[in-house]
C-alpha cells in the first residue's frame, strides 16, 4: 500500500481540482466529505469534458464530478480480495480505507504492485510447503 495519494473535500471547485491534477504525478484523486469519509473518486478522464471550461469553475464541485461509491478495500483485507475488487472494478488502483464505518482513506493499492506482492506470497507459500528456503524477493 502506498500513502502517496491525494484527497479533496467534496465542495472543491473544478478549477482547484484541475490544479491538483496538474500538480500530482497520479491521474486520480479521492473525494472526501467533511468527516474525511470517502465518497468518490476523480480522474482526468472522468472530468475531461468540463475541466477546461472556465465558465464552469464556480458551478461544478468535486461531489458533482466524482464517480460516487468507488470500489475500495479495508485495511487488513487479503491480497485475493484486493485483486478481486480490482478485477471487478476494472481500475488500475483502489483506495484502502481504515474500516467501513469511517471510510477514512489510509492509502492506495496499484494493480501492478499488488500483482507483484501476490506473486511473491505465492512463491513463499510454495517454498514453505515444499520445505525449501524462501527466495529473497525484493
Query: For residue 135, what pLDDT band results from cuts at 50, 70 and 90?
Result: low
What superfamily in CATH does domain 7-129 come from? CBS-domain (3.10.580.10)
- Quick check: 98 pLDDT over 70? yes
Helix (H) or strand (E) holding 11: none
CA dihedral for 90, 104, 98, 112, sign (positive or negative): positive
Q: Which grid coordinates are listed for 22? A: 496538474
Q: What residues does each domain of the chain span?
A: 7-129
Residue 116 is predicted with a pLDDT of 87
pLDDT single digits (tens) 14-43:
889 888 888 888 888 999 999 999 999 998
- Of 21, 36, 24, 27, the C-alpha closest to 97 is 36
- For 115, which DSSP code? H
pTM over 0.85, yes/no: no
More confident residue, 99 or 137: 99
Backbone angles phi, psi at 53, to 5 degrees: -90, 95
Amino acid at each position: 500500500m502506498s500513502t502517496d495519494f491525494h484527497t479533496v473535500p467534496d465542495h472543491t471547485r473544478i478549477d482547484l481540482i484541475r490544479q491538483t491534477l496538474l500538480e500530482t504525478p497520479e491521474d486520480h484523486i479521492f473525494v472526501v466529505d467533511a468527516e474525511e469519509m470517502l465518497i468518490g473518486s476523480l480522474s482526468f478522464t472522468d472530468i475531461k469534458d468540463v475541466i477546461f471550461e472556465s465558465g464552469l469553475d464556480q458551478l461544478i464541485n468535486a461531489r458533482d464530478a466524482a464517480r460516487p461509491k468507488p470500489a475500495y478495500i479495508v485495511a487488513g483485507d487479503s491480497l485475493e480480495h484486493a485483486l478481486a475488487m480490482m478485477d471487478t472494478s476494472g481500475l488500475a488502483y483502489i483506495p484502502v480505507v481504515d474500516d467501513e464505518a469511517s471510510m477514512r482513506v489510509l492509502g492506495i493499492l496499484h494493480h501492478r504492485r499488488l500483482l507483484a506482492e501476490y506473486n511473491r506470497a505465492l512463491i513463499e507459500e510454495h517454498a514453505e510447503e515444499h520445505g525449501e528456503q524462501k527466495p529473497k524477493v525484493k
